[in-house]
């Protein structure tokens, strides 16, 4: 064969490609795995309105990347996770959404709150983000 790699006896090119795509083909004794990137982040939709977040408790894994999509059903709000750098403005109803991507958080409980004065109940507008440890335990 000129310029082509030889396949093991009895393996056709199509069979080799199928093995390669499923991650079970071997070349020179080494397992060949199809290139796999990280899984896509989990998307969690959060509704913000009338001095509450829904859901008000969010649980994620320590090594997980999560995208929060925050939509207001009334006025403009803020979304701040205490102890992190996360602080976004949630536009008022009908004006779009805010995106907050969370990754690399250590196991623990984090309070999230509205960071924009939004009315009389603003100080009570809170929730909790629970980050489970890698072993699955909840702090």
CA atoms of 113 and 51, how far apart (whole Å): 10
Contact 92, 76 (CB under 8 A): yes
pLDDT in tens, 111-132: 999 999 999 999 999 999 999 9
Is 126 found in the same domain as 78? yes
Question: What CATH number does residue 50 fall under?
Answer: 2.60.40.420
Query: 56 lies in a domain?
Result: yes
Is 31 found in the same domain as 76? no
Range of 76's domain?
Answer: 42-132
CA atoms of 75 and 13, how far apart (whole Å): 60
Average pLDDT, the chain: 83
> Is the predicted pLDDT of residue 13 greater than 70, yes or no?
no
Is 71 found in the same domain as 115? yes
CA 90 to chain centre: 19
Q: What is the dihedral of CA 52, 56, 62, 65, to 10 degrees?
A: -60
Is 61 found in the same domain as 1? no
pLDDT in tens, 49-71: 999 999 999 999 998 999 999 99
CA atoms of 104 and 85, how far apart (whole Å): 12
Query: 98 lies in a domain?
Result: yes
Contact 122, 114 (CB under 8 A): yes
Report the domain count for the chain: 2
The owner of tokens 């310029």 is: 3
């Amino acid at each position: 064969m000129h310029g082509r790699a030889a396949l093991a006896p009895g393996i056709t090119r199509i069979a080799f490609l199928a093995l390669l795509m499923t991650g079970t083909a071997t070349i020179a004794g080494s397992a060949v795995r199809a290139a796999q990137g990280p899984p896509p982040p989990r998307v969690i939709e959060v509704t913000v309105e009338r001095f509450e977040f829904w859901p008000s408790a969010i649980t994620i894994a320590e090594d997980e990347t999560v995208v929060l999509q925050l939509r207001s059903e009334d006025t403009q709000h803020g979304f701040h996770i205490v102890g992190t750098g996360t602080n976004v403005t949630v536009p008022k109803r009908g004006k779009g959404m805010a995106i907050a991507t969370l990754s690399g958080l250590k196991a623990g409980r984090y309070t999230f709150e509205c960071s924009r004065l939004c009315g009389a109940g603003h100080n009570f507008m809170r929730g909790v983000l629970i980050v489970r440890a890698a072993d699955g335990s909840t702090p």
